[in-house]
Chain A
Amino acid sequence: MPIDLNQNLHQTRLKNGLRVMLKEIHTAPVTSTWIWYGIGSRNELPGKTGLSHWVEHMQFKGTQKYSGDDIDDLVSRVGGYANAFTSADWTTYFETMPSAHLRSTLALEADRMVNSRFDPADVETERTVILSEREGSENYPEFRLDESVQQRAFREHTYRNEVLGFREDLIHHTRDDLYGHYHRYYQPSNAILCVAGDINIQAVLEDVEALFGEIPSVPLSPIIPNPENTLEPGERIDMEGPGEAHYLEIAWRCPSASDPDFFAYAIIESLLSGPSSLNMFGSGGISNRTSRLYQALVEEDLAASIFGDLSATIDPGVYKVFATIRPDGDPLAALNAIDEQVRLLCASALSATEIERAIKQASALFAYGSDNITNQGFWMGYASSFADYQWVAEYLPRLRAVTPDQVLNAARKYLRADQRVVGIYRATKPQEAR
C-alpha cells in the first residue's frame, strides 16, 4: 500500500507568521519536534561565511531561562536526543522525546528563538570548537577537493560558501556579528515548526499558540544571492597532497528542487550513480552496483568506488559524482569513462522499465523511513524549506509522471561537458604500507 504522507496532517500559520505543521502518528509513544529557520550559508555575504553554523552552536549555550546545561538536561534526562544542522538553505533544530515531554521542548524552542544570550566568553570557546570542527574535515582530501570544486562551480551565487565558514572569516567574526545574524533571521515569520508523533493536534496547537503566539516578527530583509552565470568551458581544479588514493569529483549544474526538471534529474541520478535517500535517520539506503557509472568504472577497474549526490535546493545547485581511484590508477581514465556514460545517456531515451525501476527504488526508500517518527518530522520541514510539503508527499507520483523524453531532455540540458567543473586530487607521497 502506498504511504500517504498527508494522512493526519494539520497545517496552520500563527498571526506572527510562524508556520506550524503537525502530524499524528500513534505507532510509538514518541514525538519529534523540528524547528526550521530559512537561513543558511546561502544568505551569507563575503567575509561573513559560517555565521549561520556558528549561531546554531550558540543556540546550545543558553538563554536567561535555560543554561546550556539545562538544555542538555531537558532532553537527555528523559532519554531523548537532540541535534541541529545547518545547510546552504536552512538551519534546523530537533528533539525526539518520549511524548509526555513534548511541551518542554516547545517551550525551549520558543525561548531560544529570541532569548539566547550569546555570552562573549561562550563565543570565544566556540570559535576554537568550530575551528576544530573545520580542521577535522580538512584532514580528509575529499573535503578540500569538494570545497574547491564548489567555489569554482559558483562564482557569483552564495552556494560557493562552505557551511562551516572559511577559516579567515571564522577567525574574525565578533559577538555582534553573530548576535545580529541571530536577531535578524531567528523570528516567527522566518520559521516552520513541525511536530510528528504521538500527539493530540488540538492540544499541541493550544500549546504552540501560548508559547510562540506572542513572539513578534520584525521585517525580514533577506540576502538574495546573485544568479549564477554559465560556467566557462573546461573548468578544472588540480590539487595534490599527501595520501594514498586519488580522488575525482565532477559537478554539473542541476535545477532547483521546485523546477519540474528536478524529478527527471532524480531518475538520471538513480540510473547513473544510484538513488539518493531522503531519509535522514538510520533507515539505510540502496547500493549502486548496477548503476551505469559503477559498472563502467568499478567493474572496469578504473575506480575503487563511486557515488553521486543530487541535493534538493532553493536555487539551481549541482549534481556531484565522486570517485576514489586506487594509487596506481589514473583519474583521467576514470573521467573519460564517465564522459562516455554521459554521452550514451544523452544519445537515446531510456526504456520505461528503467524508469519503473527507479520508482521502485524510491518507493522502498520511503518505506524504510516511514517507521521512523524522526524522519517524518524531518520530511515536513525539509521539503517546506525549499519548496512545500507536497514536494515530498507527491514525490513518488511525480517520479511516475516522468517520461523517457523528459529524462533525455534533462540529460542533454544539464550534463554538458562544457558546463561542469572537474576536480582531481592526486596523492603525492604514498607511504610504505604497514
Chain B
Amino acid sequence: MNSSMPDASNILRAVWENGTTLLAYPNLTSPAVYFTGYMQPGAIADSPETRGLASFTTDMLMTGTKQLNFQQLHEKIESIGASLSIGTGHLATTFFGQCLREDLETLWSLLVEIVREPAFAEKHFKRVRSQILTSIAIQNQDSTEMASQAFNRALYNAHPYAHPSIGYAQTVSALQISQLETFHATHYGPSGLVMAVCGGIEPERAREAFANTLGAWQNQRQAAQGELPPFTPPQKAIREHIPLDGKNQTDLVIGVPAPKTISRDFQVCSLGNAILGKYGMMGRIGKAVREKAGLAYEVSSHLGTGIGPTAWTVAAGVNPDNLDKAIALLCAELSRFRDEPVTAQELQDVKTQALGRLPLSLETNAGIASILVSIERYGYGLDHLRQLPAIIESVRIEEIQAAVRRYWEMDKLIITSAGKALV
C-alpha cells in the first residue's frame, strides 16, 4: 500500500462536463483494482403503485445489453475472474467491481454498456421478476428482516424510507417491461455519478480510462433526482410484533431517529454508539445482555449513515421466552446511557479505538475506495482523513450526554420484533 495517507496531495479528483466524478488513489503493489460508487436513481423515484421499480430496473441491467446477451455478458466478466455488481438503495444506485489491473478498461467499458444500453429482454424480465418475488417471499419469513421492516414502517411512516427498496409482491407483480424501459431512459445517466478506484493502476491512467468510458456517457433525457420529502418522526412510543411460524429465535429492534450524517452531532454520537453497543464485545449492551445475562448471541447497536433521515438502533436475537427480559435489560441500559455520563475511561477507549482503526481501514483497496466514496458523498473534503483525528479528540463527555438525551427519548422508543407469536 502507498505509505502515505490518502489526502488532497495524492488523491486524484476529476469532474467531467457530463456530471461524473472520479476519485483515484494508487496502490501499485497490488495486482488488482477495486472500484465502487453511486449514481441516480434510487427507490425514492418509485411511486406507491410502483414500489420496487427502481430496484427491478437495476436487476435487469445485468441480464444483457443490446450487443451482448446474458451468456456473452457474463462470459466476458467471469472469464477474466472479474466481478461487477449493481444494486439499488433508497437514494441511489450503487455499484462495485474488482478485476486484475490489466482488465480495468475492459470492465469499465462493460459497465458503461450495461447502464447505457440494457436489452430489457422479455424472457429475462419474467425471470428476474420471479427471482425478486422469491426473494420477497423468503424475506417475509426471515425474522431479522421482518423486525427491521416493521421498524422502518413505524419510524418513517409516510416517508419513502418506510418501504423496502425491493418493493412488495403485489407492486412488483404489476410492473410492466415498458415501465422499466421508460424508467431507465429518464433516470439513468451520468449526472451525479461518482466513482472511486484504488489498486494497481496509476491515477492518470484511471483518468484516461474513465474519460473514454463513463466520462463520455451522455443522456439528455436524464431527469433531475427528486427532492427527499420532509421526515416527521413519530411523537409517541410504538410497539409491534410480527408473528412468524416455525421460528426458534425472535429478532428485536429498538430505536430512534439518528442525527444527520453531516453534522457535529453525528461525530459525537459515533463515539457514544461505540460505547453503547460496539466497543470490545459489543459495548455496554453486549456486556449486559450477552456476557452477564446470557440472553443473546447477537446484540449490538448501529448508528445509521446517509443523506436522508436514518435511525439509531439496538438489535438482538433472543429466545422467544426471553423477549420481555431482553427488552427490559436493553431499555435499562438505554436509560443509563441517557441519565449517566459516559466515563472518561470509556470515552478514551473509543477514541483510541477510532484512531487506531484508521490504518486498518486503509489496508485494502476496497477499504480505501469506500472511504473515498464517503468523502465525496458527504462533502468531507480530500483532507478528511488528516482532519479526522482532531475531530475525534475534540469530543467531550458532556457533548455525548447532551446528544444522547436529545436522540434517545425513552417515551418515544420504537420497539419491533418478529418471531414466535406473543401469548
Contact = CB atoms under 8 A, between A and B. Distances in A.
B133 interface: yes
A370 B140 CA distance: 39
Nearest to A60: B281
B131 interface: yes
A100 to B, nearest CB: 9
Contact of A98 (B1, B169, B319, B360): B360
A324 to B, nearest CB: 7
Contacts of B138: 243-245, 324
Contacts of A213: none
Contact of A361 (B78, B247, B349): B78
A136 B349 CA distance: 31
B246 interface: yes
Nearest to B317: A136
B162 interface: no
A430 B358 CA distance: 47
Interface string A347-370: 000000000010011111101101
B100 A364 contact: yes
B347 to A, nearest CB: 12
A285 B360 contact: no
B291 interface: yes
Given A72-B280, A371-B364, A327 B80 contact: no
Interface in B275-302: 279-281, 287, 290-298
Nearest to A364: B81
Contacts of B287: 69
A371 B294 contact: no
Interface string A367-396: 110111110000000000000000000000
Contacts of B70: 289, 299
A295 interface: yes
B32 A368 contact: yes
B280 A132 contact: no
Contact of A326 (B1, B133, B199): B133
Given A73-B280, A132-B318, A371-B365, A79 B248 contact: no
Nearest to B77: A287
Contacts of A324: 134, 138
A24 B219 CA distance: 50
Nearest to B358: A79
A131 B78 CA distance: 40
Contacts, number: 218
Interface stretch (A43-51, A122-130, A251-259, A409-417): A122-130
Contacts of B168: 433-434
A364 B360 contact: no
A200 to B, nearest CB: 17
B71 A132 contact: no
Contact of A1 (B31, B131, B296): B31
Nearest to B146: A434
B180 to A, nearest CB: 19
Contacts of A244: 134, 137-138, 140-141
B293 A125 contact: yes
A360 B419 CA distance: 45
Interface of A: 1, 3, 27-30, 60, 68-69, 72-73, 75-81, 96-98, 124-133, 135-136, 138-140, 241-245, 274, 282-290, 295, 298-299, 301, 304-305, 324, 326-327, 357, 360-365, 367-368, 370-374, 429-431, 433-434
9 contacts: A3-B31, A79-B359, A124-B294, A129-B296, A284-B366, A286-B78, A298-B131, A301-B126, A372-B363
Interface of B: 1, 27, 29-32, 34, 70-71, 74-75, 77-83, 85, 98-100, 126-127, 130-131, 133-138, 140-143, 168-170, 199, 244-249, 279-281, 287, 290-298, 317-319, 349, 352-360, 362-367, 419
